[in-house]
Amino acid sequence: MENWTNAKLCDVANLILGGFLFVSPWIFGFDAGHASQNAYVAGIVIAVLAIAALAAFAVWEEWLNLIVGLWTLIAPWVLGFEGNRTAMTVHVVVGILVAALAALELWIMSQNPPRLTASR
């Protein structure tokens, strides 16, 4: 990919968002339950995918990040913790940002496909 800096910035932002989502139950005092469990699992998955993308870019990592971002966005309604306003807000905001960053990276990738180099 020609524009590695933009892609790496998106991955670093996703790493930060994943870490933030993981620690958000402690920061905001979520109840132990679906909200906390989802924050831990989704935060770890987002962070691990971001680290994998930083190590070696692959399109499938961005598709998975998009899926996890969308899951994080809808999780309050699916898991039934929409009544916890703080947990819902954190999940919705982080989900939107992660999904948007993944979509941006996929768009960047489609505009500047990677060049294959032949070794001589």
Whole-structure pTM value: 0.84
Query: Whole-angstrom Cα distance, residue 53 to residue 57?
Result: 5
Instruction: Give me the pLDDT at residue 53, please.
Output: 85
Classify residue 85 by its DSSP letter: H
Q: 2 pLDDT exceeds 70?
A: no
Neighbours of 55 (CB within 10 A): 10
In a domain, 62, yes or no: yes
Q: 74 pLDDT exceeds 90?
A: yes
In a domain, 41, yes or no: yes
Q: 3 pLDDT exceeds 50?
A: no
* The amino acid at 71: W
In a domain, 119, yes or no: no
Query: Whole-angstrom Cα distance, residue 50 to residue 61?
Result: 8
Specify the higher pLDDT residue, 59 or 84.
84
Q: Which domain holds residue 27?
A: 4-111
Q: Average of pLDDT values for 56-64?
A: 81
Query: Whole-angstrom Cα distance, residue 107 to residue 104?
Result: 5
In a domain, 118, yes or no: no
- Of 91, 55, 53, nearest in space to 72 by CA: 91
In a domain, 117, yes or no: no
**pLDDT confidence of 117, banded at 50, 70, 90?**
low
Work out how many domains the chain is built from and give that number.
1
